[in-house]
Amino acid sequence: MVSITIRHVPDSVHQRLTAHADELGVSLQAYLLHELDRIASLRPMPLAIADAERRLARAKTTLTVQEILSAVHADRK
Protein backbone atom coordinates (compact mmCIF):
# COMPACT_ATOMS: atom_id res chain seq x y z
CA MET A 1 0.00 0.00 0.00
CA VAL A 2 1.09 3.56 -0.60
CA SER A 3 0.78 6.61 1.61
CA ILE A 4 -0.73 9.91 0.48
CA THR A 5 0.04 13.24 2.11
CA ILE A 6 -2.23 16.24 1.63
CA ARG A 7 -0.67 19.53 2.64
CA HIS A 8 -2.26 22.87 3.43
CA VAL A 9 -5.65 21.50 4.47
CA PRO A 10 -7.61 24.40 5.96
CA ASP A 11 -8.49 23.98 9.63
CA SER A 12 -12.20 24.23 8.85
CA VAL A 13 -11.97 21.33 6.36
CA HIS A 14 -10.02 19.21 8.85
CA GLN A 15 -12.60 19.94 11.54
CA ARG A 16 -15.52 18.95 9.28
CA LEU A 17 -13.80 15.74 8.20
CA THR A 18 -12.98 14.86 11.79
CA ALA A 19 -16.60 15.55 12.78
CA HIS A 20 -17.87 13.27 10.01
CA ALA A 21 -15.53 10.49 11.14
CA ASP A 22 -16.57 10.96 14.77
CA GLU A 23 -20.26 10.79 13.83
CA LEU A 24 -19.62 7.45 12.12
CA GLY A 25 -17.51 6.18 15.01
CA VAL A 26 -14.40 5.64 12.89
CA SER A 27 -10.94 7.15 12.80
CA LEU A 28 -10.19 10.01 10.44
CA GLN A 29 -7.83 7.63 8.60
CA ALA A 30 -10.58 5.04 8.08
CA TYR A 31 -13.09 7.70 7.04
CA LEU A 32 -10.75 9.27 4.49
CA LEU A 33 -9.75 5.87 3.07
CA HIS A 34 -13.43 5.01 2.62
CA GLU A 35 -14.12 8.35 0.92
CA LEU A 36 -11.09 8.03 -1.37
CA ASP A 37 -12.24 4.55 -2.38
CA ARG A 38 -15.74 5.90 -3.09
CA ILE A 39 -14.38 8.81 -5.14
CA ALA A 40 -11.99 6.55 -7.07
CA SER A 41 -14.92 4.39 -8.18
CA LEU A 42 -16.73 7.36 -9.76
CA ARG A 43 -16.38 8.24 -13.43
CA PRO A 44 -14.88 11.74 -13.77
CA MET A 45 -17.69 14.16 -14.68
CA PRO A 46 -16.23 15.35 -18.02
CA LEU A 47 -15.92 11.72 -19.16
CA ALA A 48 -19.41 10.85 -17.91
CA ILE A 49 -20.86 13.80 -19.83
CA ALA A 50 -18.95 12.81 -22.97
CA ASP A 51 -20.32 9.26 -22.61
CA ALA A 52 -23.85 10.61 -22.26
CA GLU A 53 -23.42 12.83 -25.31
CA ARG A 54 -22.25 9.83 -27.37
CA ARG A 55 -25.21 7.76 -26.21
CA LEU A 56 -27.57 10.61 -27.06
CA ALA A 57 -26.07 10.94 -30.52
CA ARG A 58 -26.60 7.22 -31.14
CA ALA A 59 -30.18 7.44 -29.83
CA LYS A 60 -30.95 10.23 -32.31
CA THR A 61 -32.83 12.19 -29.66
CA THR A 62 -33.55 15.90 -29.84
CA LEU A 63 -32.75 16.36 -26.14
CA THR A 64 -29.41 17.80 -25.11
CA VAL A 65 -27.35 16.59 -22.17
CA GLN A 66 -28.06 19.90 -20.43
CA GLU A 67 -31.83 19.45 -20.87
CA ILE A 68 -31.64 15.96 -19.40
CA LEU A 69 -29.47 17.09 -16.48
CA SER A 70 -31.83 20.00 -15.81
CA ALA A 71 -34.78 17.61 -15.73
CA VAL A 72 -32.96 15.27 -13.35
CA HIS A 73 -32.01 18.14 -11.04
CA ALA A 74 -35.55 19.54 -11.13
CA ASP A 75 -36.94 16.12 -10.23
CA ARG A 76 -34.64 15.93 -7.19
CA LYS A 77 -35.94 19.20 -5.71
pLDDT in tens, 45-75: 889 888 888 887 888 778 787 888 898 888 7
> Average pLDDT for residues 25-44, to the nearest whole number?
95
pTM higher than the cut 0.85: no
C-alpha 11/C-alpha 25 separation (Å) is: 21
Q: Work out the percent of the chain whose per-residue pLDDT is above 70.
A: 99
Comparing CA positions, the residue from 43, 38, 47, 37 lying closest to residue 1 is 37
Residues 6+ apart with CB under 8 A from 63: 56
Largest CA distance in the chain: 50
Please give the mean pLDDT across all residues of the chain: 91
Q: Is 9 helix (H, G, I), strand (E, B) or coil?
A: coil
- Report the pLDDT value the prediction gives residue 54, as an integer from 0 to 100: 87
C-alpha 9/C-alpha 54 separation (Å) is: 38
